Amino acid sequence: MKNSAPENPGAHSRRTFLKSLGTVAATAATAQVKTVAAELEKANAEKIIGPDAVPVTLNVNGEKIKLLLEPRVTLLDALRNYSSLTGAKEGCDRATCGACTVLFDDAPIYACQKLAIEAQGHAITTVEGLAKDGKLNKVQLAFIEKDALQCGYCTPGFVMSITALLKKNFHPTADEVKHACAGNLCRCGCHPHILQAALKAAGVEHASKTEVVTYA
Q: How far is the CB of 84 from ligand FES (least distance, A)?
A: 18
186 near ligand FES, judged by CB under 6 A: yes
Q: Which stretch binds ligand FES (CB under 6 A): 9-17, 42-50, 125-133, 146-154?
A: 146-154
What's the CA gap between 191 and 143, in Å, rounded? 11
Residue from 85, 102, 112, 195 in contact with ligand FES (CB under 6 A): 112
Q: What is the DSSP string of 114-149?
A: SBGGGGTTSEEE-GGGS-BTTBPPHHHHHHHHTT--
DSSP 8-class letter at 170: S
What's the CA gap between 85 and 97, in Å, rounded? 19
What's the CA gap between 147 and 142, in Å, rounded? 8
145 near other proteins, judged by CB under 8 A: yes
What's the CA gap between 66 and 82, in Å, rounded? 10
Q: How far is the CB of 139 from other proteins (least distance, A)?
A: 8
Residue 59 main-chain phi, psi, to 5 deg: -105, 100
Q: Which stretch binds ligand FES (CB under 6 A): 26-34, 93-101, 118-126, 168-176?
A: 93-101
Do residues 180 and 164 touch, judged by C-beta distance below 8 A? Answer: yes
Q: Which stretch binds ligand FES (CB under 6 A): 17-25, 97-105, 131-139, 165-173?
A: 97-105
Residue from 149, 164, 166, 199 in contact with other proteins (CB under 8 A): 149
Residue from 18, 28, 37, 131 in contact with other proteins (CB under 8 A): 131
Collapse the DSSP code of 108 into the 3-class scheme (helix H, G, I; strand E, B; otherwise coil) and give the result. strand
Residue from 91, 166, 200, 201 in contact with other proteins (CB under 8 A): 91
The site for ligand FES (CB under 6 A) is made up of: 90-93, 95-100, 110, 112, 149-155, 186-188, 190
